[in-house]
Structure 1
Amino acid sequence: MKQQRTIVIPHEHGGWAMVSVPFLLGMMAGSPNYMHALLFVAWLCLYLSSYPFLQAVKRSANRSYYIQWGIGYGIVGLICLIPSLLYSPELFFFGIPLVLLLLVNIWHAKAKSERAIVNDLCAIMIFAIGGAAAYILGDGTWDHKMGMIVLFSFIYFTGTALFVKSVFREKNNVRWHGYSRIYHIVMLIVPFVAGYPLMALAYAFAIVRALLLAGKSIRPMKVGIIEIVGVVLFLIFSVVALS
């Protein structure tokens, strides 16, 4: 089969928000510095490299082409990562959970079950850990706030995954709509239990949209706009709450 000659980038639009928002939250919750630019480029390239590698795992067509793109992104990512590792060697510790979670994604890709909720949760946790890495790079420590960056990011984007499924793949699944609404109600309780009540404001928009729109027929573009508004509000209120 003739290989395609187009740029290989992830098609999941939500991935762009997940790769950037937890990182920005971790950076702003700590002390932003010039090293964050290099770390973000490394983080973005490693994310970009994962997509073609996962495509190569699950399909035989154009496999070598995907691998070439994955290696290219990976090399750029590793080059940009080296200065950050030298500046903050503690970043090495994030490698262990990231590799373990990525192995789960690889297994699901090979089994062609990428839409499984467990696969989504592992991917979301990977992105949430990126926020912790950005926090550590900004002179943060392995403290309660770092844990909250991971927790609050994970909770938000898990809610996003449930909501998106409730208006697309599970649109006609009444039980799934209930799961999504219950989850979002519980989201409102977590900030108070964790000691960050202002975080409830970061979840407010997401909760309202899940309660009102789960199971509705919504155009993809409209869902995209809703998610952009929600993630921007989440980032703004999260930075305020964790400052």
Structure 2
Amino acid sequence: MSRTRTPKPRAEPGSGRPRRDPVVPPQHGAWGFLGLPLLLGVAAAGWSPWLPELAVAWVAAYPASWAVTGLLTARGRRERFRRAVLLWTPLCLLAGAPLLVTHPWLGWVLLGYLALFAVNLLEARRHRERSMTNDLVLVAECVLLVPVVAGVVDGVGNALTTEVLLAMLVTALALVGSTLHVKSLIRERNNPAYTTASRVFAVAAPVVVVAACAASGTSGWLAAPFVLLAARAIWWHDPGWRPARIGLVELAGFSLVAAAGFWTL
């Protein structure tokens, strides 16, 4: 029986020191995606002592799924993801297990998320981790968290109130708009179709939110952040910006959307 040799850690350029395997995904903008549905879920449904555990399980699930995906599908040196798997997966399980025991219906939710994760794995095997399909799956996972928060707070029977549905709509519009805008500035900056799609979507979003607010009797101020996001897509569309600056603008936009949710829902 042959033994598999573990590759030696790579050295930092110019330092001679081994480079430690990463434990955090390099897609830093995704953290804002995780926070927005949590905040809007609280804005729509209120608070529960179980929410801190849900938040820990939810946030830990992102780097855990990234690490598991890398361990299963990376093209080279898959073992570099092992450290992250061993860090984040137990944390996610420890936070999520009590929730599953006390809220058994979350088992069905978990199956739904596993089905979405299967799509992530399929895209990763095709080396399409940055595809629009993969990004929209992440958006769907985030949108579905809003009724999960509401179900944990008020019971599964109150997971789809008018406020929760509005919060889901706002989450979807903010995250899809952000995805299109960022892609048009970075990975698809040479593709004018993405710029057009980003601007059309950004202009349509406040109209959709105003119509939804009017139909539900909610204050139209919920649409105010989307007016600013439309301005960002039209007048602040500068592919010369560094990714960090783009990310800060998107994070500010998410913060405004969350604040509007707490103000109106």
Q: Do both proteins adopt the same fold according to a TM-score greater than 0.5, normalized to the shorter chain? A: yes
Q: Which of 108, 111, 128 is 2:126 aligned to?
A: 111
Query: What letter is aligned with 1:46?
Result: A
Are residue 12 (structure 1) and residue 27 (structure 2) matched? yes
Q: What residue ranges of structure 2 are gaps of 5+ in the alignment?
A: 1-6, 10-18
TM-score (norm 1): 0.90
Which one of the candidate residues 2, 10, 26 is aligned to 2:8? 2
> Given that residues 171 and 215 in structure 1 are in contact (C-alpha distance below 8 angstroms), is that contact kept between their aligned partners in structure 2?
no
Q: Quick check: which one's helix share is greater? A: 1
Task: Work out the CA distance in 2 between the residues paired with 1:241 and 1:60.
Answer: 47
Q: Could you tell me which residue of structure 1 aligns to residue 178 of structure 2?
A: 160
Partner SS state of residue 89, structure 1? coil
Q: How far apart are 1:7 and its partner, in Å?
A: 4.2
Deviation string, structure 1 residues 77-122 (Cα, Å, up to 9, x no partner): 1111122223333322322321121111111111111121111000
Q: What whole-Å deviation, never above 9, does each CA across 1:31-58 have from its counterpart, x for those lacking one?
A: 2122111111111111120111122233
**Aligned counterparts of 1:57 and 1:237: Cα–Cα separation in 2:** 40
1:222 equivalent to 2:245? Answer: yes
2:189 is aligned with 1:183 = no
CA distance, structure 2, for counterparts of residue 221 and residue 68 of structure 1: 26
Q: Distance in 2 between matches of 1:174 and 1:223?
A: 18
Q: Which has the larger radius of gyration?
A: 2
- 1:215 CA displacement: 5.2
Q: Secondary structure at the match of 1:13?
A: coil
Q: Say if 2:203 and 2:227, in contact at 8 Å, map to a contact too.
A: no
Name the structure 2 match of 1:232.
255
CA deviations 1:157-191 (Å, max 9, x no partner) are 11001001111122222222111111111111211
Aligned length: 242
Q: Secondary structure at the match of 2:109?
A: helix
Distance (Å, rounded) in 1 between the aligned partners of 2:117 and 2:111 = 10
- Aligned counterpart in structure 2 of residue 201 of structure 1, from 224, 238, 242: 224
Q: Distance in 2 between matches of 1:223 and 1:89?
A: 40
Aligned pair 1:61/2:76, yes or no?
yes
* CA–CA separation in structure 2 for the residues paired with 1:151 and 1:211: 22
Name the SS of the counterpart of 1:138 in structure 2. helix
Q: What secondary structure does 2:195 align onto?
A: helix
Q: Does 1:211 align with 2:234?
A: yes
Q: TM-score, normalised by structure 2?
A: 0.83
Out of 137, 147, 163, the position equivalent to 1:122 is 137
Contact conserved, 2:181 with 2:198, CA < 8 A, in 1?
Answer: yes
What one-letter code is carried by the residue in structure 2 that aligns with 1:228? L
How far does the alpha carbon of each residue in 1:8-46 deviate from its partner, in whole angstroms, 9 at most, with x for none? 111111111111221121123212122111111111111
Structure 1 vs Structure 2 CA RMSD:
2.0
Contact 1:56 1:66 in 2 (8 A): yes
Q: Structure 2 CA distance, aligned partners of 1:46 and 1:128?
A: 15
CA pair 65-217 structure 1, distance change in 2 beyond 3 A: closer
| Aligned residue identity for 1:218 | W
Aligned match of 1:142: 159
Query: In 1, distance between residues paired with 2:116 and 2:82?
Result: 20
